[in-house]
Every structure is written in structure tokens, then in C-alpha cells.
Structure 1
Amino acid sequence: MTAGETASTAGMKTSDHDGVVVAVISGELDMISVDGIGTALFDQVDKRPAGLVVELAVDFMGSSALSMLLELNARSQREGVELVIVAAQAAAVRPMMASALSQVLPLAQSVDEAVKLVREERESSEKPG
């Protein structure tokens, strides 16, 4: 690392949309920052909200972030928490497309669309069938 470079950092801000937690991830989601962000997201799932929307507003996303998202998806399914990932920026879309995770993870183009998807999924799973 040169004097002009800084260590990678990622941040997460959460908000509540009538029971659906929206977590916006920013910065660089790499092997240095992914553990902290992953722990914070797993903590959200453990609280069992109506749903969790993760917006990847990142400048960079490495393979460790993809692994964390897969683990988050599995944990959400086990806990009965609807999860939708918002990946609209190229830094998030490219690695998800290249790894074919875009075919595995529930994706949306915007937070509004994701919250709507979570609510629709909750409603359909709560109806007697």
C-alpha cells in the first residue's frame, strides 16, 4: 500500500420500511470488509424481520462478498426471512452475472421493487394453500 492509498472500507446503513429492513452497503466489499458487513447482515436476519432488502451500492465487490451473499441467502431461508438483493450498479452486477449468482439469488433493480417483492412473497406464503 502506498502513501496515497487507504485500507478498503465498507459501510452499512439500515432503515425500516414497515417491518422490512433495508440495508444499504457502500464502499468496497472485499475480503477485508466482508466479515463485518456479513456479521451485521446475519444479525438482522436473526431478528427475524418481515423481510431483508440488501442494496449493493458498492464501488467494488470481491468473491468473498459473493460467498457471504450465498450464506446470507441460505440463512434467510432457514430463518423464514424473505431476502431480496438490489444490484443496480456495475460493480455489483458484473460479479453476480459472471458467477451466475444472478440466477440463484433473489434480485431486484430498486429498493422499492425489492420491498414490494418481499411483501408479495410474505402475503403469498401466509395464505392458506
Structure 2
Amino acid sequence: MAVIGVDDRDGIPVVSVAGEIDMTCDEPIRAALTAQFDRRPAGLVLDLTDVGFFGSTGVRLVVEATTWARDQGVAFALASTRRAVLRTLDIALPDGVVDLHPTVPDAIRALRTAGVPVAH
């Protein structure tokens, strides 16, 4: 089971997921991401720093989010240092497909460096 939260960091929404990402919880995560993309933010971070299980469903969600971001012109970054997440992404995706950072502040800093403005 996953716990999903959304936080705004000066105009950059951060969708945080904790727990397990599997096919029993993909719809609420997808809905949270879709709701944020529908707002058309300049940037978005998916925080997976508290995910303990991450399989093919998680990879599919990351690929979908990456595609939505590209199609909508939204800067997108992922935050995690969890072995379950990193190993699965490393096996499933070619290098460079996902903008991956160890922490949410690192991901936000990367988006700011890429030109995402600070909301006032």
C-alpha cells in the first residue's frame, strides 16, 4: 500500500509516495500525478525516497510521468536513493531517460538550474 502526498515548493509541486508501488495502488498515484500535470506547472518532482517496493508498475508510472512532462513542456525530476527504486530503474530504463536526484531539494535545485522559475 502506498501513501501519497502533494506539497508545493515555491511553485514546484512535489508528489511524494511512501510504501509500496504495485498494481494495487497505481491508480491513486497516477491520479495525483495527472492532477498536478493538469495544473501545467513549470516543473514537477516525483519523490520516491520512502518507497520500499518498486516493480514494473512503478517503472510504468515513471515512464508515463516522463512522457506527460515532455509532451506538456513541464520540467520533471525524480528523487530517490532507495535501492529498490534505483536498481529497478537501472535495469528497466536506459541512462538519461529520467532526471534522477538523491533528495527532493536536489531535484528542485536541478529544476531551478534548468530555468524553472520561483512562484511568488
TM-score (structure 1 length as normaliser)? 0.83
Structure 1 stretches of 5 or more lacking a match?
1-8, 124-129
Determine the structure 2 residue equivalent to 1:5. Answer: none
Distance in 1 between residues matched to 2:55 and 2:28, nearest whole Å: 14
Contact 1:20 1:49 in 2 (8 A): yes
Larger Rg: 1
Determine the structure 2 residue equivalent to 1:109. Answer: 102
- 1:52-72 Cα shifts (integer Å, max 9, x gaps): 111112010110110111011
Determine the structure 1 residue equivalent to 2:71. Answer: 78
Determine the structure 1 residue equivalent to 2:5. Answer: 13
TM-score (structure 2 length as normaliser)? 0.88
Choose from 64, 67, 71 the match for 2:60: 67
Structure 2 stretches of 5 or more lacking a match?
none
Contact 2:21 2:54 in 1 (8 A): yes
Contact 1:31 1:62 in 2 (8 A): no
Determine the structure 2 residue equivalent to 1:54. Answer: 46
Q: Tell me, what secondary structure is at the counterpart of 1:114?
A: helix
Distance in 2 between residues matched to 1:22 and 1:76, nearest whole Å: 14
> CA-atom RMSD, angstroms?
1.6
Contact 2:15 2:32 in 1 (8 A): no
How far apart are 1:100 and its partner, in Å? Answer: 2.8
Runs of 4+ residues deviating >4 angstroms:
none
Structure with the larger RCO, 1 or 2 (CA within 8 Å, 6+ apart): 2
- The share of aligned pairs that are identical, in percent, is 30
Distance in 2 between residues matched to 1:47 and 1:101, nearest whole Å: 29
Distance in 2 between residues matched to 1:64 and 1:51, nearest whole Å: 23
